Amino acid sequence: MVYTDPTGETINVASLTADQRKLLLEGLQSFTGNTYTIDDNAMLQLVTVGNENSPLATALINEWIGDTREFSVVESPTGQNRGINSTGEIQLNFSTFDNADYGAVDPRSFNLGSTFVHESLHASTTLQDNIGGIVSLSFDWTGPVVDIVNQIRAERGLPTRAAYLSKQVRRARHRTFFTNVNPRKPDRWYYVTRQQLQR
């Protein structure tokens, strides 16, 4: 199936370098199961819906591509990944997963594609990673945005994020926890270890 966007109201990646665009497209394909491209106007477009795609991811990204607002994907000025609803800006740190240690966790479940979807949810809605403006400090809480991204992971048969919070470990690295990694022990937690992002 091939889709086009006749209105031109899409996700703008004009400020990204060629390498950043490539990383974003690769991450989206591995996370969603679909193939995306960037057209001559620097807008994100869906090319092919994959056989093992996430229907939810497909619907969400199609909605953003066809939205009356224009969302701009930019390199994060702070190092933090953020989606800003008031401006429609999606700020990505393209080195977020450099030197990440995935252990037993499938890398497709946590990459630039999943981060793009997460931050796009913030940019397109008023959903936040908190309760009444306060981030939960409990490891038994994921939050509404992670819950939606976990639905996509589940549709793709990928591990799901077990908690919103990550645990800091030595040398400014932190661990993000996942379940459904081992079919024999679906509730057991595994983790991805990455560099602590700047604040």
**Residuewise pLDDT in 10s, the chain (199 residues):** 344 444 445 799 999 999 999 999 999 999 999 999 999 999 999 999 999 999 999 999 999 998 888 999 999 999 999 999 999 999 999 999 999 999 999 999 999 999 999 999 999 998 888 777 777 778 888 999 999 999 999 999 999 999 999 998 877 889 999 999 999 999 999 999 998 776 5
How do beta strands 82-84 and 89-92 pair? antiparallel
Task: Supply 184's token pair.
Answer: 């024999």
pLDDT score for 199? 52
The token duo for 148 is 């939606």
- Where do the domains of the chain lie? 11-195
Please tell me whether the overall predicted TM-score, pTM, comes out greater than 0.75 for this model: yes
pLDDT at 181: 98
Give the closest residue to 150 by CA, choosing from 186, 182, 103, 117: 117
Q: What is the DSSP letter of 108?
A: G
Give the pLDDT of residue 81: 95
Query: Given the DSSP bridges, would you call strands 11-12 and 89-92 parallel, antiparallel or unpaired?
Result: unpaired
What Å distances lie between residue 19 and 11, 46, 95, 163, 195, CA to CA? 17, 19, 12, 31, 21
